[in-house]
Amino acid sequence: MKKLFFFILLISNLSNAQHVRFIENLIIEKKYEYADKLLKEDILKEDKVSSEITFLFGKNSYFLKKYNQSINWLNKYLELKGLNGKYSDETIKFLELSNTKLLIETEKDIENVYVELFSYSYVNCQNNRKLCPICDGSSVMIIENEIQKIYKTCPFSDNKGFLTCDEYNLFLRGELKPKLN
């Protein structure tokens, strides 16, 4: 009975090692999406996630440009194995890469905010109102076709033909949306 138990245990360990190698090869072959799918399936079906899977998920997440996720899984591997694990050196390298990429990405986001904030001049309005340039202050839009003229209430201005200063600045940037009735 003990021999049968050890045999089953040996076979399951071999198939687990083959599965890990298979996922490693997918990552080497740059099949990151497929590797991600298999890794997620492994995580969902198992009660405990092996340290090898945490490493592979962190490494693969780096290649998918999911740097926060990569950092989380690679840190989990180091928690489980420390600096003496089979993948510890590689884990540290990918942690450094993920942290660097995340920093660069964050700086780009901040830079984009600055560009958006300072790329246009904010127009100050007297009395916080500006004549609507869409309806020319009439609060009515006239749409002409070959047969008739169609009169519509301006969906952008108030009922007196004005925009707020903020709405006017949105108009200048092309971001003004019609008001919902």
Domains defined along the chain, listed by start: 22-118 (1.25.40), 126-173 (no CATH)
pLDDT of residue 35: 92
Is residue 55 classed exposed, middle or buried when 0-12, 13-18 and 19+ CB atoms within 10 A define those classes? buried
Confirm if 117 and 169 have CB atoms less than 8 A apart: no
**Structure-token pair, residue 31:** 């099949």
pTM of the model: 0.55
Q: How many CB atoms lie within 10 A of CB 38?
A: 18
Beta strands in 27-155 (DSSP E): 129-131, 140-144, 149-153
Q: What is the DSSP letter of 83?
A: G
102-161: per-residue pLDDT in tens?
Answer: 888 877 777 666 655 555 566 777 788 888 887 888 888 877 777 888 888 888 888 888
Our CA angle for 85, 57, 67, nearest 5°, is 105
44-92: per-residue pLDDT in tens?
Answer: 887 788 889 999 999 999 999 999 999 998 988 888 888 888 998 999 8
